[in-house]
Amino acid sequence: MKSIVYTTFLFVLFVSCNTQISREIPQEQAEIPADYDPEARLTELGIELPEAATPVANYVNAVQAGNLIFLAGKGPRKPEGGNINGKLGADLTIDEGYEAARLAGIAQLAVLKAELGNLNRVKRVVKVKGMVNAVPEFTDHPKVVNGYSDLMVAVFGERGKHARAAVGMGSLPSNIAVEMEMVVEVFD
């Protein structure tokens, strides 16, 4: 009886492995689609990217590994200079936090453009990590990080939809309201 069960198990395992191996995996488009133009979309949205900020410590703005680019954390830099500072739930409203996350997104896009030369090379926004400077009682972190996520979808369309974490922090450097990280897949 044990040998029949064992033989059946091996047969099922063999068939399922062969079935998985033989399935065709659709090849993704390797070229940039003709109708895909995040640079033009930025213009339509009235967004002018600032110069990418130089890191202030012993790190770089971005590291490329294969066709993925890992962007270092950026805060909410105002166009006129300075950052949006303060804690959500004490100093800042959700709307102010949303705008802070959006500004951090613009800073990330500036870095990405500096790295790639053109945002049209972005194949997909893969992952976003949003860190929100908040009091312990604050629980609306996702509403704040939506400022970043909404910007990525506005600029990249469906390619801007991403996996995400929205977490609260007891403090952030220089008391900035948010710090955002991103991983992006690029066309070769």
Token pair, residue 44, equals 């339509």
**Token pair of 108 as six digits:** 């990330």
CB crowding 121-139: b at 16 or more within 10 Å, else e: bbbbbebbbbbbbbeeebe
Tens-level pLDDT at each residue, the chain (188 residues):
555 544 444 444 444 444 443 333 234 556 888 889 999 999 999 999 999 989 989 999 999 999 999 999 999 999 999 999 999 999 999 999 999 999 999 999 999 999 999 999 999 999 999 999 999 999 999 999 999 999 999 999 999 999 999 999 999 999 999 999 999 999 98
Residue 7 forms part of a structural domain: no
State pTM to two decimals.
0.83
DSSP calls for 79-111: TTSSB-BS-BTTTB-HHHHHHHHHHHHHHHHHH
Residue 70 in any domain: the answer is yes
Write down the pLDDT at residue 131: 98
Q: Is residue 3 part of a domain?
A: no
Query: Is position 81 within any domain?
Result: yes
Compute the 3-state secondary structure of the chain and give helix, strand, coil in percent, each to the nearest 5: 40, 25, 35
- Supply the pLDDT for residue 48: 94
5 in a structural domain: no
For residue 15, being part of any structural domain is answered with: no
- In terms of C-beta density within 10 A (0-12 exposed, 13-18 middle, 19 or more buried), how is residue 71 classed? buried
> Which residues span the domain enclosing 110?
38-186
The pLDDT value given to residue 13: 42
The number of folded domains in the chain is: 1
Give a yes or no: residue 1 inside a domain: no
CATH number for the domain that contains residue 124: 3.30.1330.40
For residue 10, is it within any domain?
A: no
